[in-house]
Structure 1
Amino acid sequence: MSPAPEIWKTVRNERVKVSAVERATIDALNLSAIGVREPEGCDELVRIRKSLIMERREALRSAIPNFDEKSCAQKQRVMPELGKFKGTAEPRITSRPDARSVIATTPPIAVPIFFREPPYAGEFWQVEVDSFGNAPNNTVFIDLEQDFPGDYRIWGHIGYNSDALFNGMAGIAVISILSPERMPHTDKTTFGVMPSIYMHGNISGWTGLYDPIWHADDKWSKCWLHLKATLALSIGHQLAEKSYDYNVFSLDDVAPVGQASMETNFEWGLLLSFEADMRDLRRRGISIIYREELRLDFQIEGESDIWFRGRPGAASESVPSYDNALRFKCAPNRLQGY
């Protein structure tokens, strides 16, 4: 059974103080990201599938003399040639989320003349960044840039060789807060936030030699990309949320080997809009929390590999590292009234 996901590291901005109420809401949002995602009955389906594979293997051994020896010899003969392509893919897949929303320019927020806007009105200040997930030891690395906002990096190579299905995850969560003292003075009740979210890099997969007769044990390498932007009040009430999901690749018993790659180079455009009374929130001391999550879910089984890196290419030529990493940036930008 795969280990449960957990928070790996947290880096906090010591210049921004967080109340106990805000901390409780942030922790609750983070815990929701690492909850169990396996469908009910998943373990039972895996058991049945493997049982059927074993029955087929036994039938083949009975029907074909020296079946295991012939299978092993075949693998030794073809893998040196196939191994040259490890880490590559053709054709390459490029992920392109929705284009950035186009919104008409709006005039500045109108305020009574006797009110002066507070310093940094409408600005979200980043308070922390978290890395989380579960993966085989020393395979996936996440750098949380110390500057706020940062340029975050994910890199690593998972080389797997086990009949047990592994459900893994690696992710980053960035949290910012608009405190009551920075809320604009306005009678408007409709507001919007247009985050800037950028991602650049490459995700690749590979599965080992498969043949429905000679090499019929499961070889899986699957990966899903998930982005989620959430606005919530510090008391826990959710204001707005949008997500983007993409099936990066799904290599499932591909003959003779599986190859896939997704090159990411995009800006995710979205508008988070909501209704609120800024005067009431300011009076009650309630802040607005923005949370952006990047999560990479994956499944690996049998002889399989996954790479998170900056540039594509053969495994021997493009080795994941800090300087060859998938990069992620995000910022909520300023609150706007409409």
Structure 2
Amino acid sequence: MYSDRANLTAGEKEAIESLDAAFASDRIPEGHETLAEVRKSLSKETREALRSAIPDLEERGRAQRERIMPELDRLKGTALQTPDDPVTRRNLSESIEPTDDDQSGRRGGLIIPIPDDWQWPQPPHVGELWSASVSGFSSDPNISYSIDQDPLRMFGHIDYSGDALINGTVGVAMTFTLPPERMWVGKPHVFAVDPTLRIKGTVSGYTGYYHPLFAADDKWCKCWETAEVSVTLSSGEWLAGKSDVHTLADLQNVYPVGMSNDHRVYGWFPGPLKFTVNMDKVRLSGRSLILRAALRYDFQLEGESDLWLRSWGSESEPAFDNALTFQCTPSMVSRSS
């Protein structure tokens, strides 16, 4: 969804749509399918050996499950009572990726040598990043997103019981632009932008009843959070960027049931993102600078397993007003030493 205020060109929209497609692509860990097949084979051999040693294995397992599940079911979907987490500041190491001044290219116009100490007048709103678009995606109909309001939202509950391992993802993104008319004029060519990303909500995982003898079928729930921020040109050149990845749920065959509740209430301060670019050349070529902030959750479920995305500390069903939220304050593109 594009902002009317941004008045984007066709080239800028094409660049943003390309970033959207890359952000929504699958991110299955390398080698995971091979590991899953080996694990299933070993599990099958183990079950066959247990059946030959314990003739009434299945009956014992059913009786045990019927006895204890009423108590365990009361725990499903509940959030642990923990103190409010303070806002976490993560001042990561700087990632500086300078580009050659000639990379921007000269596309018409005459460049006149100017003394280094010349003070160029700057245009109105110089360096201001304005909202250009918001986008979202989900691979599962049970996980929804909303990009109609600020903050952006993700919410839903997946209740899975299949034997096959499934991979899924959900994410939202915000894009800001600095068009040629708001770019800095003259030297120096080193710049920085210092955005803030804020996440608020709870990601909960659950795996059903597991016992190494009586209920040894696989129960698996895993979830990863990835926050990303990048600075590019509308022609595709990458200038700077960082990412922040966390494992939120890592439940695999937990006895008697698996539970995780991760309260995501923090601000991520990835900057300053520094980069080198000749804005005079970029402006003459008609290109824009794009700042993009994105948040996604990748998950894997197998057997009896659940995943929730909702607001902080809630035990009710996820909904628009009970959602995990995401915001970005882009700051300004400023000159840097």
Using the size of structure 2 for normalisation, the TM-score is: 0.86
2:207 maps to 207
Partner Cα separation in structure 1 for residue 198 and residue 289 of structure 2: 22
Partner Cα separation in structure 1 for residue 335 and residue 169 of structure 2: 37
What is the CA distance between 1:220 and its match in structure 2?
0.8
1:87 is paired with a residue whose SS is coil
1:239 is paired with a residue whose SS is strand
What is the CA distance between 1:96 and its match in structure 2?
6.6
Matched, 1:121 2:126: yes
1:5 maps to none
The alignment yields a C-alpha RMSD, in angstroms, of 2.4
The 8 Å contact of residues 89 and 266 in structure 2, kept in 1 or not, is answered as: no
What is the CA distance between 1:307 and its match in structure 2?
0.8
2:165 is paired with a residue whose SS is strand
In the superposition, relative to structure 1, how do residues 268 and 285 fare at CA in structure 2: closer, same or farther (>3 Å)? same
The 8 Å contact of residues 221 and 307 in structure 2, kept in 1 or not, is answered as: yes
1:322 maps to 320
1:143 maps to 146
Partner Cα separation in structure 2 for residue 36 and residue 157 of structure 1: 20
Matched, 1:75 2:65: yes
1:254-276 C-alpha deviation (Å, 9 max, x unpaired): 10010111111111112111011
The 8 Å contact of residues 3 and 132 in structure 2, kept in 1 or not, is answered as: yes
1:5-53 C-alpha deviation (Å, 9 max, x unpaired): xxxxxx1113322223222322222222222322444333322221221
1:107-138 C-alpha deviation (Å, 9 max, x unpaired): xxx9956x542222111121111101312x3x
1:254 maps to 254
2:298 maps to 297
The 8 Å contact of residues 100 and 267 in structure 1, kept in 2 or not, is answered as: no
**Pairing of 1:225-236 with structure 2 (within 5 A):** 225-236=225-236
1:23 is paired with a residue whose SS is helix
Aligned residues: percent identity? 39
1:163 is paired with a residue whose SS is coil
Matched, 1:27 2:17: yes
The 8 Å contact of residues 124 and 333 in structure 1, kept in 2 or not, is answered as: yes
1:6 maps to none
Instruction: Report how many residues are paired.
Output: 313
2:50 maps to 60
The 8 Å contact of residues 225 and 246 in structure 1, kept in 2 or not, is answered as: yes
The 8 Å contact of residues 208 and 258 in structure 2, kept in 1 or not, is answered as: yes
Q: Which amino acid aligns with 1:257?
A: V
The 8 Å contact of residues 138 and 145 in structure 2, kept in 1 or not, is answered as: no
Partner Cα separation in structure 1 for residue 201 and residue 298 of structure 2: 16
What is the CA distance between 1:177 and its match in structure 2?
0.9
Using the size of structure 1 for normalisation, the TM-score is: 0.86
1:12 is paired with a residue whose SS is coil
1:129-150 C-alpha deviation (Å, 9 max, x unpaired): 1101312x3x11111134xxx2
The 8 Å contact of residues 189 and 275 in structure 1, kept in 2 or not, is answered as: yes
In the superposition, relative to structure 1, how do residues 176 and 199 fare at CA in structure 2: closer, same or farther (>3 Å)? same
2:75 maps to 85
Which structure shows the higher strand fraction?
1
Q: Which runs of 5+ in 1 are unaligned?
A: 1-10, 104-109
Partner Cα separation in structure 2 for residue 221 and residue 324 of structure 1: 22
1:85 is paired with a residue whose SS is coil
Q: Which amino acid aligns with 2:330?
A: P
Partner Cα separation in structure 2 for residue 325 and residue 292 of structure 1: 19
Q: Which amino acid aligns with 2:291?
A: Y
2:161 is paired with a residue whose SS is strand
1:88 is paired with a residue whose SS is coil
In the superposition, relative to structure 1, how do residues 171 and 111 fare at CA in structure 2: closer, same or farther (>3 Å)? farther
Q: Which amino acid aligns with 1:27?
A: E
